[in-house]
Structure 1
Amino acid sequence: MSESEVIQQSKVAVTRSMLIRDLRKIGLDAGMTVIVHSSLSRMGWVCGGSVTLIMALQEVLTSAGTLVMPAHSADVSDPADWESPPVPSTWFHSIYQEMPAFDPRRTPTFGMGKVAETFRSFPGVRRSNHPIYSFTAWGEGHDVILAHHSLDDGLGTESPLGKIYERDGYVLLLGVGYGNNTSMHLGEYMSGRLERVKRSSPVRIKGHRQWVKYQDGEYHEEAFEVIGKAFEASHPEAAALHVNHVGQAPSRLLSQRAIVDFTADYIKKNAD
């Protein structure tokens, strides 16, 4: 959506103070651990854009809380796996020879949106060391959440998603649906029903660029909207789900552990 279209669809200019008010109203509070997925355009015309939203989130959480976002870079991978779009197989050799290794400081996010890409370079933000499934974090728990991100099963229990689960953290969906809820991949993993696949990426090991192979799951986020609707229809405890508007965006704050456990159970019961 273009900026002019966002302006036309906005009732007022969405300011930092408005966002802080709405974030508190939906249940976000100081000291929480929360992973955020967002669509800035759905929130209306935000004065200051992604910077304003990030600052509002930090002000509400305070430095005693922990703010997490996905910083995935699916393009740092084997070109033979690329589908949207694919590249000619005659290019593969050059890509294998020349693709830069993943670098937490330099590698941009891919398809994560403006807010996640802006957050990546914010002061005090750190990034985990996975070539395609990295996460960024700021605040009290960033070291614990980002440390020892397993190369195998990068969205499993030994990932930042697993650390958020251990801390009984939250998911905040700002103007996006369950299809954007990365934490539900952890539920897929915990279901034990994931098909196993091999992937490869260029990384730096002891100063040298190398292609490494690792184990992953064949994830299916296309089912997440159905699972999310079933979760809400199950009438979760009031503390597990809050629904309200942040800016103009329909938003949800939910218990990460609740949606992960529900996803795992749903997949086990509906495996076919």
Structure 2
Amino acid sequence: MSTVTSHLVTPQPLLGDERTASQLYELGVRCGGVLLVHASMRSAGGSALSMADALRGALGPEGTLVVPAFTPENSDTSRSYLDRVRSLSDRARAEVRATMPAFDPAASPAPTMGTFAETVRQSPGALRSAHPQTSFAALGPAAAKLLADHRQDCHLGEDSPLARLYDADAQVLLLGTGFDSCTAFHLGEYRRPAPPRRLYRCVVAREGRRRWWEYEDIALDDSDFAAIGADFGHERTGAVSTGRVGAAPSLLFRLRAAVDFATGWLGRHRADGR
């Protein structure tokens, strides 16, 4: 009489990158899709490079990873500049303006976007759109199409990568960040009837020379984005997936659904002229 012996195998814990990849799949990141990511590595833990590798692995070779690569540092109409010079003398302000670097899509850093976005922007093969204030960077086969023809007097509207991401039915991942940093909602601002406009000014390089350039565009306002996001999650049941990526509480949703909701919300809640 033979005896069969059963050997119980204790499951091995997933390694860090494997665990992150598993979290991304469980959250609903689409393999082969387009994903716009806003990430706080301080919240997520680990390295930005490992997170980028995990996201690219989850997207697969046919997927495309997109990040904001904004540069308020070269504008004297940006919020960051106004905060920086608020207590300075007129002479000190002039000195700050005189040393502001001209935007160079190949080299200008985007420090306020965080280490994850900067890691993606500097990755081999990454492309960047041409807007001197609100560029995007991307890795993947759809990068060139998504980033092409970013008109320099259109921050985040129909002639920007946001509209191309909308057309591509991209997903948005808020990795350790909240809806207050959801860039996609800005496209809803452009889609309101007659949105208010304002002047912007930044330093650009033209024909090898540094020069100031002034242009008019929509008056961007993210002050109510947290409220839009709260209502989006509450009113659109199932539209927002929640979970952890790394150590960070994270949100995943379709950009198209978020923009459509924001467009209607803004029409109902913002007063005329705002």
Report TM bin, short chain. 0.7 to 0.9
| Matched ranges for 1:225-244 at <5 A | 225-236=226-237, 238=238, 240-244=239-243
CA RMSD of aligned residues (A): 2.0
Match of 1:142 in 2: 143
Letter of the 2:225 partner, please give it: F
1:152-197 Cα shifts (integer Å, max 9, x gaps):
1211111111110111111111111100111111111212353211
Unpaired runs of 5+ residues, structure 1, are 1-11
- Contact 1:193/1:271, CA 8 A, preserved across alignment: no
- Contact 2:75/2:203, CA 8 A, preserved across alignment: yes
| Matched ranges for 1:40-79 at <5 A | 40-43=41-44, 45-46=45-46, 49-78=47-76
- Contact 2:157/2:187, CA 8 A, preserved across alignment: yes
Match of 1:128 in 2: 129
| Residues 14 and 128 (structure 1), Cα distance of their counterparts in 2 relative to 1, 3 Å cut | farther
TM-score, normalising length: structure 1: 0.87
Cα distance, 1:209 vs structure 2 = 2.4
- Contact 2:157/2:190, CA 8 A, preserved across alignment: yes
Query: 2: distance between equivalents of 1:116 and 1:54?
Result: 9
1:115-168 Cα shifts (integer Å, max 9, x gaps):
111211111111111111011001011001111111112111111111101111
| Residues 84 and 110 (structure 1), Cα distance of their counterparts in 2 relative to 1, 3 Å cut | farther
- Contact 1:79/1:92, CA 8 A, preserved across alignment: no
Cα distance, 1:247 vs structure 2 = 2.0
Count the aligned residue pairs. Answer: 256
TM-score, normalising length: structure 2: 0.87
| Residues 19 and 196 (structure 1), Cα distance of their counterparts in 2 relative to 1, 3 Å cut | same
Letter of the 1:107 partner, please give it: S
| Matched ranges for 1:26-175 at <5 A | 26-43=27-44, 45-46=45-46, 49-78=47-76, 82-86=81-85, 87-175=88-176
Cα distance, 1:97 vs structure 2 = 4.3
When Rg is computed on C-alpha atoms for both structures, the one with the higher figure is: 2
Cα distance, 1:219 vs structure 2 = 2.0
Cα distance, 1:98 vs structure 2 = 4.1
| Residues 199 and 79 (structure 1), Cα distance of their counterparts in 2 relative to 1, 3 Å cut | closer
